[in-house]
Amino acid sequence: MPPATAVPVLRTAGLATLVVGILSIILAWIFRGTDGLVGALVATVLVLAFFSVGNLVLNWALRAHPQIALSIALLTYVVKIGVLFVLIILFADTTLFNTKVFALVVVLCTITWTAAEVVLWSRSRVLYVEPGSGP
């Protein structure tokens, strides 16, 4: 898979995460009621948004500025962690949703996205020599 292609990652990892998120939302609603449903929904949307935006930014960086792509990836990671930290502080004492369900679904969806991405990249063929660059 070429390094500047976001579509396969978004399609594979995004779809897998969405499936886990939907199952989590249904189970949270069954076992924890409306508060669980809202917590699972917020967590699923948050994980999908964070990983999708990070993937799109990194792919833009690989196309536009491949020399600084790693720096941009690290900066994107730090910004996402900062935003997550702020959200955790803001919602620490919320009664809008079940915070335990929220935390569990964030972890489940994050593991799902990461595992799907690892499987996708491990099955892809990455050229280490660009065709046509030789004599």
Residue 45 identity (one-letter amino acid): V
Count Cα atoms within 13 angstroms, Cβ side, for 40.
Answer: 23
pLDDT reading at 130 higher than 60:
yes
Q: Is the pLDDT of residue 74 over 60?
A: yes
> 3-12, 40-49, 104-113: lowest mean pLDDT where?
3-12
| Whole-structure pTM value | 0.82
Average pLDDT over residues 70-98: 89
Tell me the C-alpha distance between 100 and 36, whole Å.
8
In angstroms, what CA-CA distances link 107 with 15, 100, 113, 121, 123?
A: 16, 11, 10, 21, 24
pLDDT of amino acid 103: 92
Give me the chain's average pLDDT, please.
Answer: 88
